[in-house]
Amino acid sequence: MSENPLLSPWNTPFGLPPFGAIEPAHFPPAFEAAMAAHRIEIAEIGANPAAPSFANTVEALEGAGRLLSRIGATFFNLAASHATEALQKVERDIAPKLAAHRMAIALDPALFRRVAALHQQREGLALAPDQHRLLERLYLRLMRAGAGLDAKARARLSEISTRLATLHTSFGQNVLADENEWRMALTEADLDGLPESARQAAREAAAAAGVDGYVFTLSRSSAEPFLTFSARRDLRERLWRGFAARGALTAGRQNAPLIREILVLRRERAKLLGEADFASFRLRDTMAGSPAAAEGLLRACWEPAKRRIAVEKAELSAFAQAAGHNGAIEPWDWRYWAERARQAKHNFDGAALKPHFELEAMMRAIFHTARRLFGLHFEERAEIPRYHADVRGFEALDEAGQHVGLLLLDNYARPGKRSGAWMSSFRVADALNGRTAPIIINNNNLARATPTLLSFDEARTLFHEFGHALHGLMSRARYPSQSGTAVLGDFVEFPSQVMENWLSLPETLQTHARHHETGAALDEALLARLLAARNDGQGFAMVEYLSCALIDLALHRHKSPEDLTLEEFEADFLAEIGMPEGMALRHRPIHFSHLFSGDGYAAGYYFYLWAEVLDADGFEAFEEAGDPFHPDLAARLKSIFEAGDTADPMALYTAFRGRPPQVDALLRKRGLVGD
């Protein structure tokens, strides 16, 4: 093999990976070399004969592992966005090795002794506030990894971590394989009710698959428009059943046994660390603080949501029956009849709106919002290396024209790309040794079409992920582990969710939601109907979300997961919470990647609701000021985006809002007050 580009200097624009030179075979030796170098750095910190100091221990640890971080970020972004069979083979092999490597560092006795000594004398070290928090968080992280336990327990925790890495990888790859392999090929005669935008996307999907006609897939951007607009109930049911069965579609590739083992191992880990269950362990280090507090928030919204959906269902059933529908409203019927009812009630056609939400225009809208709020502007850079032709690069510049960072946008669904929408980074911002500018990526899964027209929800997702991107781009933390989105789990969604509000502003819609052919703005009457229709279906949306967040907590509080029969548990759980008839989980456990393709949102899917409390309450400050771009409020909000994990999140929020958040704002936003 020629010289490994992953181990050589990257003389590329903005320091991006040299994608064109990288092959899957380069990763295994690069990972091995980077882990070896990192082990040497950690050993040197632990063996330093000098007394522990913040500089020779904490800052040295922050500076260690740069090569491994660079290689890992490159690999895992490619594995998520541009996976091949060769990359997935590397992922299956490297995931447990990396987990073992990380645990060996977290449990290194010499390193822990130095950190513990510093933590004990922290009040006398004259540390800056961000340094004090960094030391506190580092000590807590090592303790939660098991560094304070005896050798036998530490060894078992390492085994658990290594095995979980393998299980998480298998879970995610199984879901991706089901999404890649399932397709529904149709002819023109099967497309009754579908708008031109859905037809165009299906034509392009068919062409990409090398077949005639139209292809619909289990990508959410393909499935949801079909479920919303197709008049063919039999085909809606067929697609919905495939969508609901992801993770269980193929014999020998079933996720249920993986879930059981994951839950058993997570529970064992929690017990070794002194907690009753994994949910208690996970939520100890969050703003909520406990499963009871998180569940209390969810239950406070659950009953109003159920009352609302009972009204919605009665109205929907009456409307559907009047239109000729016989029988109950089933899960594959909800979106279709809700859209028909919304059109009738508000004279509002969601499909007819899509020509006003062209992708390029919505990108201009997010950039315009960032400029007015935070003084950032974005310039496209065509010269950047890219791993796929879909990727576009935009340089973020501040008001003085100085480089802030690079934003990559990868907007389209395709085989080999996992579903959903997410933000990640190829490099985080820090100022440890001079400023390192971030390289942030937003992934979406839009159905490719010419032009690409978005639903209102897809446009909102674009704003949401851009909020995460801004959180990473604007970071002013000096230490990498405090940078950008490296905050408490139930705070990380606040910057993303609050950004969604700026899409719904009349001025944003009037300026950017223009017909892609005529340039005509949304007329005031249509705009009024759009805004009036936003709270339609809130019972459905809340029940879909809350049931998933509640089952997440229930799974991670299960007293004997080794005995879990997943289908029975799911059915019993839905009966216990009183899931409305005809409703289904948006994310069934078998494909709930938030929970089981990694630890990120395990026992933490409630994060979105807590963030929505902050979002609703926070945006009300702008509404109370009468200016969605109020300079003082924007400056205080900017401080949250810049802070990363340098301060307690409640202190950051209170400094912005002037008081702690209030849950009532969420109920008002969702239109659930009085239900």
For 514-565, how does the pLDDT look when each residue is reduced to its tens digit (9 = 90+)? 999 999 998 778 777 777 777 788 899 999 999 999 999 999 999 999 999 9
Place of tokens 């279709």: 336
- Phi, then psi, of 10 in degrees rounded to 5: -105, 100
Q: What is the DSSP string of 452-517?
A: -B--HHHHHHHHHHHHHHHHHHT---SSGGGSTT-S-TTTTTHHHHHHGGGTS-HHHHHHH-B-TT
Give, to the nearest 10 degrees, the angle between helix 607-625 and helix 649-657.
20
CA distance 295 to 248: 29
The answer to whether residue 664 scores a pLDDT higher than 90 is no
The CA distances from residue 667 to 63, 297, 300, 675, in Å, are 45, 12, 10, 9
CA distance 347 to 598: 43
Within a domain: 235? yes
Within a domain: 81? yes
Within a domain: 109? yes
The 10s digit of each residue's pLDDT in 142-154 is 999 999 999 999 9
| Percent residues over pLDDT 70 in the chain | 99
3-state secondary structure of 88: helix
The answer to whether residue 503 scores a pLDDT higher than 70 is yes
Q: Residue 616: name the closest of 544, 538, 540 by CA.
A: 538
Q: Looking at the structure, tell me whether residues 30 and 159 fall in a common domain.
A: yes
Q: What is the pLDDT of residue 526?
A: 77
The 10s digit of each residue's pLDDT in 465-501 is 999 999 999 999 999 999 999 999 889 999 999 999 9
Q: Looking at the structure, tell me whether residues 48 and 115 fall in a common domain.
A: yes
pLDDT band, residue 347 (cuts 50/70/90): confident
Question: Which residue type is seen at 376?
Answer: L
Number of DSSP helices (H) and strands (E) in the chain, helices first: 27, 7
Are 165 and 99 within 8 A, CB to CB? yes
Report cis status (omega within 30 of 0) of the bond before 415. no
The 10s digit of each residue's pLDDT in 434-465 is 999 999 999 999 989 889 999 888 999 999 99
Q: Looking at the structure, tell me whether residues 558 and 578 fall in a common domain.
A: yes
- Residue 401 burial (C-beta neighbours within 10 Å; 0-12, 13-18, 19+): exposed
Q: Looking at the structure, tell me whether residues 237 and 261 fall in a common domain.
A: no
- Residue 26 burial (C-beta neighbours within 10 Å; 0-12, 13-18, 19+): buried
Q: Looking at the structure, tell me whether residues 129 and 209 fall in a common domain.
A: no
Q: Show the domain range for 198.
A: 182-244
Q: What is the pLDDT of residue 674?
A: 56
The answer to whether residue 1 scores a pLDDT higher than 90 is no
The CATH code of the domain that includes 311 is: 1.10.1370.10
3-state secondary structure of 441: strand
CA distance 247 to 515: 39
Within a domain: 281? yes
Are 230 and 192 within 8 A, CB to CB? yes
Are 552 and 606 within 8 A, CB to CB? yes
- 195: its two tokens: 């708008």
Q: Looking at the structure, tell me whether residues 153 and 197 fall in a common domain.
A: no
The CA distances from residue 30 to 6, 74, 337, 670, in Å, are 6, 11, 53, 49
CA distance 255 to 332: 23
Q: Is the dihedral of CA 370, 542, 456, 521 positive or negative?
A: negative
Which of 175, 203, 220 terminates a domain? The answer is: 175
The CATH code of the domain that includes 156 is: 1.10.1370.40
CB-based contacts of 205, cutoff 8 Å, min separation 6: 183, 214, 215, 216, 217, 222, 447, 448
Task: List residues with catalytic annotation.
Answer: 465
Please report which helix (H) or strand (E) contains residue 201, including its range.
helix 196-209
- The DSSP symbol for 275 reads -
Within a domain: 233? yes
Q: Residue 214: name the closest of 179, 184, 186, 183 by CA.
A: 186
Question: Which residue type is seen at 405?
Answer: G
| Pairing label, strands 377-380, 392-397 | antiparallel
Which of 215, 244, 273 terminates a domain? The answer is: 244
Within a domain: 224? yes
Please report which helix (H) or strand (E) contains residue 395, including its range.
strand 392-397
Q: Looking at residues 418-432, what average pLDDT do you find?
A: 95
**Tally of domains within the chain:** 3
Place of tokens 């919002």: 369
3-state secondary structure of 9: coil
pLDDT band, residue 216 (cuts 50/70/90): very high
Q: pTM to 2 decimals?
A: 0.90
CB-based contacts of 6, cutoff 8 Å, min separation 6: 17, 22, 26, 27, 30, 70, 71, 74
Q: Looking at residues 386-415, what average pLDDT do you find?
A: 97
Q: Looking at the structure, tell me whether residues 559 and 592 fall in a common domain.
A: yes
Q: Looking at the structure, tell me whether residues 153 and 125 fall in a common domain.
A: yes
Q: Residue 550: name the closest of 302, 369, 340 by CA.
A: 302
The 10s digit of each residue's pLDDT in 146-185 is 999 999 999 999 999 999 999 999 999 999 999 989 999 9
CB-based contacts of 269, cutoff 8 Å, min separation 6: 157, 160, 161, 278, 281
Within a domain: 73? yes
Question: Which residue type is seen at 403?
Answer: H
Q: Looking at the structure, tell me whether residues 79 and 190 fall in a common domain.
A: no
Please report which helix (H) or strand (E) contains residue 377, including its range.
strand 377-380
| Pairing label, strands 439-446, 403-412 | parallel
- The DSSP symbol for 435 reads P
The 10s digit of each residue's pLDDT in 584-614 is 999 999 999 999 999 989 999 999 999 999 9
Q: What is the pLDDT of residue 86?
A: 97
CA distance 619 to 446: 27
Q: Looking at the structure, tell me whether residues 328 and 214 fall in a common domain.
A: no
The answer to whether residue 378 scores a pLDDT higher than 80 is yes
Within a domain: 295? yes
Are 644 and 483 within 8 A, CB to CB? yes
Q: Looking at the structure, tell me whether residues 560 and 601 fall in a common domain.
A: yes
Are 200 and 450 within 8 A, CB to CB? yes
CB atoms within 10 A of CB 123: 8
Which of 209, 244, 279 terminates a domain? The answer is: 244
Q: Which residues of 233-266 are buried (b: 16+ CB within 10 A; e: fewer)?
A: eebbeebbebbbbbbbbeeebebeebbbbbbbbb
Q: Looking at the structure, tell me whether residues 157 and 31 fall in a common domain.
A: yes
Which tops the pLDDT comparison, 665 or 621? 621
